[in-house]
């Protein structure tokens, strides 16, 4: 099951469209969730219950319109809706327990939207075990390319597996990006004995080894190995300009590490031009 958070904003609509299309491709049911966060309105000694009821009615309206949008876009997708009381980040983390994927808009009116670089990206993507997809509202051409960032650790393999599957379902090319940088002291000749040809060969081998793990099960996916000497965030952001989806891993090293994600994940979430999927290593 795919879960998508909605708050009635433009970017929330984009997330709904993306989730509906992915549910159709993956043949998964879709659950649309709206979080009713009462806490900001309960700080007074005597909360206004009438106003809180208005919040609930507005949430129900948002869900009705979201369901109509999805049914119009993908009539064969099974759709359910839920209006849940709680903070958006906590609601999504709870929903992730039985989800194949979580989808959310990048910014908007409030609720899920305001939580993007707080509860959603930094907390949900670091704590849940399913991919978290962050979608922007900007309309873009279809490029038929999925981009995946890889490094020299096995923790990137779940992200690469997800990227292969997305490329297969979309009939897209998969661009596997590996950006590497030499240690700072490598640029001091008196301290360095690097053979640059050997370094480049070793970096290309990292990508080949990673791709080989999954390419046998996805022979129909065309793979482009993109190895470059650059900062990983810059390389991935550049590649995202010509992609339909950018996939990165999250190492999830404990509570603090999970909450903060990594510098690469945070960087691409803030600046990528296309939707970003963050896939946590198990």
pTM of the model: 0.86
Q: What is the C-alpha to C-alpha distance for residues 258 and 274, in angstroms, rounded to an integer? A: 23
Closest CA to 101 of 124, 133, 69: 133
Residue 47 has a pLDDT of 56
Q: pLDDT tens track of the chain, all 282 residues?
A: 999 999 888 888 999 999 999 999 999 999 999 988 766 555 555 555 565 677 778 889 999 999 999 999 999 999 999 998 888 888 888 998 889 999 988 764 444 544 444 445 556 766 788 999 999 877 899 999 999 999 888 889 999 999 999 999 999 999 999 998 766 555 555 445 567 778 888 888 989 999 999 999 999 999 999 999 899 999 999 999 999 999 998 765 433 333 345 778 878 888 899 999 999 876
Q: H or E segment at 225?
A: strand 223-229
Residue 138 has a pLDDT of 79
Q: How many CB atoms lie within 10 A of CB 222?
A: 14
Ordered by where they begin, the domains of the chain are 2-135 (3.40.50.620), 145-280 (3.40.50.12370)
Query: Under 8 Å CB-to-CB from 97, ≥6 apart: which residues?
Result: none
Give the side-chain half-sphere CA count within 13 A for 7.
24
Residue 191 has a pLDDT of 45
Q: What is the C-alpha to C-alpha distance for residues 77 and 81, in angstroms, rounded to an integer? A: 13
């Amino acid at each position: 099951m795919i879960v998508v958070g909605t708050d009635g904003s433009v970017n929330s609509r984009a997330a709904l469209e993306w989730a509906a299309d992915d549910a159709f491709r993956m043949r998964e049911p879709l659950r649309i969730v709206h979080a009713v966060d009462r806490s900001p309105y309960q700080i007074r000694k005597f909360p206004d219950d009438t106003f809180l009821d208005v919040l609930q009615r507005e949430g129900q309206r948002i869900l009705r319109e979201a369901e109509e949008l999805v049914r119009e876009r993908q009539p064969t997708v099974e759709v359910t809706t839920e209006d849940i009381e709680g903070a958006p980040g906590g609601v999504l983390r709870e929903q992730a327990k039985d989800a194949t994927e979580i989808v959310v808009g990048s910014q908007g009116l409030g609720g899920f939207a305001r939580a993007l670089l707080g509860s959603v990206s930094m907390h949900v993507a670091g704590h849940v075990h399913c991919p978290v997809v962050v979608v922007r509202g900007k309309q873009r051409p279809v490029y038929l390319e999925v981009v995946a960032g890889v490094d020299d650790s096995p923790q990137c393999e779940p992200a690469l597996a997800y990227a292969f599957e997305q490329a297969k379902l979309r009939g897209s090319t998969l661009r596997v990006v590996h950006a590497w940088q030499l240690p700072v002291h490598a640029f001091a000749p008196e301290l360095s004995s690097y053979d640059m040809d050997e370094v480049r060969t070793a970096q290309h081998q990292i990508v080949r080894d990673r791709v080989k793990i999954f390419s046998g099960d996805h022979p129909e996916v065309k793979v482009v190995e993109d190895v470059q000497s650059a900062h990983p965030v810059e390389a991935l952001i550049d590649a995202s300009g010509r992609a339909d989806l950018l996939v990165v891993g999250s190492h999830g090293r404990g509570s603090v590490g999970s909450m903060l994600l990594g510098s690469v994940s945070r960087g691409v979430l803030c600046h990528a031009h296309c939707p970003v999927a963050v896939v946590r290593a198990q």
